């Protein structure tokens, strides 16, 4: 491992060895959790790709992942000597150890995409950017888990990012589950991000994805269904088939605004220093090509605005406000007189 990295084939071979008990800390147990988690995570990669692409402004693609049970010793042999670790434990739903790992090159690539800077170093600012990126990944995963399992209480801790020797990575002891994502940051170079699930987390997620083993509602018989031809009649709000009482209650939906607010605030902070083009448009008109070719000095072009009408204020070519032209010292300016409502902006966005 002179260059600090292994090929994907070597990584898969080492992880496979861990699943069969080849690790120094004892064999990794797997009661089918890995295959269940892998099937679920493969449904999230498109959302992961879109979310990170939107955050970075680049074309980022996640594929896979391959998920296997392994052990600490075996996994440490499969990763470089120094890695970037983002610890983001589950605090509710499936409480337990959970973290993401990547090589230094992958971490720099993500930070560079986010900050639009080349030759970036993994300093405090870069670590904050990487932590926010991983938080977005975890948030996408939690949203998907909530949808699959019906558990709206799933939550994670704030991300803690650090570039550290692999011996200092806070891996679970003994056996655990690892998902290896193939990542393309837009430069064509293959990258890998590892997601580590502690044993209790993997077991809890797999059990929830397999489906609940619920007992029948109180007062409702769990006997065999009626024979062919029998109809299940409902004779009132409180009775069901065979006249048995139903345990009925109003449906309660979670407050979506409160759940999304904190995440949106965390993500929008990264965009506060991003420059956007703002233009003020006096008016527009359409001309035939032959009319444009005959234009010269002194030609007067009539616009679609009347004298005294407010001018349009656009951000990235989208109308957001209207205003009136003013003169500030010797420069033109515009005073905002009206903010365009979201309903009026929607046709522009579409």
CATH of domain 8-209: 3.40.1550.10
pLDDT in tens, 189-232: 888 999 999 999 999 999 999 886 544 444 444 444 444 444 44
* Position 147 pLDDT exceeds 70: yes
Question: pLDDT class for 283, splitting at 50, 70, 90?
Answer: confident
Rg from Cα positions in the chain: 29
Percent of the chain exceeding pLDDT 70 equals: 72
Which tokens in the block code for residue 14? 């080492």
Beta strands in 10-159 (DSSP E): 61-71, 82-87, 90-92, 98-103, 155-156
Closest CA to 208 of 144, 164, 161, 129: 144
Q: Where are the domains of the chain?
A: 8-209, 276-349
Is there a contact between 189 and 100 (Cβ–Cβ < 8 Å)? no
∠ CA(132), CA(177), CA(181), 5° rounding? 50
Angle at the Cα of 142 (from 137 to 147), degrees rounded to 5?
Answer: 130
At residue 258, does pLDDT exceed 70? no
Please report which confidence band the pLDDT of residue 81 belongs to, taking 50, 70 and 90 as the band edges. Answer: very high
* Global confidence as pTM: 0.56
CATH architecture of structural domain 276-349: Roll (2.30)
Q: Tell me what pLDDT residue 189 has.
A: 82
Which residues are registered as beta bridge partners of 71?
175
Per-residue pLDDT at 200: 92
Under the banding of pLDDT at 50, 70 and 90, the label for residue 37 is very high
Pick 13 or 318 by higher pLDDT. Answer: 318
3-state SS assignment for residue 206 = helix
Q: How many CB atoms lie within 10 A of CB 132?
A: 19
Once rounded to an integer, what is the mean pLDDT over residues 298-306? 87
Supply the DSSP symbol for 245. B
> Which helix H or strand E contains 257, and what residues bound it?
helix 256-268
Q: What pLDDT score does 83 carry?
A: 94
Q: What's the mean pLDDT when you consider all of the chain?
A: 78
pLDDT score of 179 more than 90: yes
Contact 102, 159 (CB under 8 A): no
pLDDT value of residue 231: 43
Q: Supply 229's token pair.
A: 């031809």
pLDDT (mean) for 116-125: 85
Confidence band, pLDDT 50/70/90 cuts, at residue 268: low
Strands, E assignment, the chain: 61-71, 82-87, 90-92, 98-103, 155-156, 160-165, 175-184, 190-197, 278-281, 311-315, 318-328, 331-339
Q: Which residues contact 177 (CB under 8 A, 6 or more apart)?
A: 30, 33, 34, 37, 67, 68, 69, 70, 196, 197, 199, 202
* Dist CA 60 CA 328 (whole Å): 44
Say if CB 58 and CB 186 are below 8 A apart: yes
């Amino acid at each position: 491992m002179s260059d600090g990295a292994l090929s994907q084939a070597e990584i898969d071979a080492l992880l496979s060895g861990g699943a069969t008990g080849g690790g120094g800390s004892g064999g990794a147990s797997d009661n089918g959790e890995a295959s269940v988690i892998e099937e679920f995570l493969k449904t999230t990669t498109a959302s992961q790709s879109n979310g990170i692409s939107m955050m970075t402004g680049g074309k980022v693609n996640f594929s896979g992942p391959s998920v296997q049970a392994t052990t600490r010793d075996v996994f440490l042999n499969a990763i470089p000597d120094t890695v970037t670790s983002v610890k983001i434990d589950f605090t509710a739903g499936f409480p337990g150890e959970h973290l993401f790992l990547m090589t230094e090159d992958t971490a720099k690539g993500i930070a560079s995409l986010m900050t639009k800077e080349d030759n970036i170093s993994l300093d405090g600012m870069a670590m904050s950017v990487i932590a926010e990126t991983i938080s977005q990944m975890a948030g996408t995963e939690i949203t998907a888990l909530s949808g699959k399992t019906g558990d709206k209480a799933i939550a994670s801790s704030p991300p803690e990012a650090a570039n550290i020797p692999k011996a200092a990575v806070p891996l679970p002891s003994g056996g655990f589950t690892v998902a290896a994502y193939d990542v393309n940051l837009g430069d064509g170079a293959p990258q890998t991000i590892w997601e580590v699930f502690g044993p209790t987390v993997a077991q809890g997620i797999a059990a929830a994805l397999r489906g609940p083993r619920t007992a029948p509602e109180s007062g409702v018989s769990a006997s065999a269904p009626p024979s062919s031809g029998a109809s299940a009649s409902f004779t009132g709000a409180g009775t069901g088939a065979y006249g048995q009482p139903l345990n009925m209650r109003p449906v309660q939906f979670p407050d979506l605004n409160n759940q999304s607010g904190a995440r949106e605030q965390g993500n929008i902070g990264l965009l506060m220093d991003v420059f956007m083009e703002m233009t003020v448009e006096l008016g527009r008109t359409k001309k035939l090509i032959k009319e444009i070719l005959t234009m010269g000095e002194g030609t007067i072009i009539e616009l679609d605005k009347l004298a005294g009408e407010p001018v349009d204020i656009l951000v990235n070519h989208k109308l957001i406000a209207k205003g009136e032209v003013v003169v500030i010292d010797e420069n033109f300016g515009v005073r905002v007189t009206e903010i365009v409502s979201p309903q009026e902006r929607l046709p522009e966005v579409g």
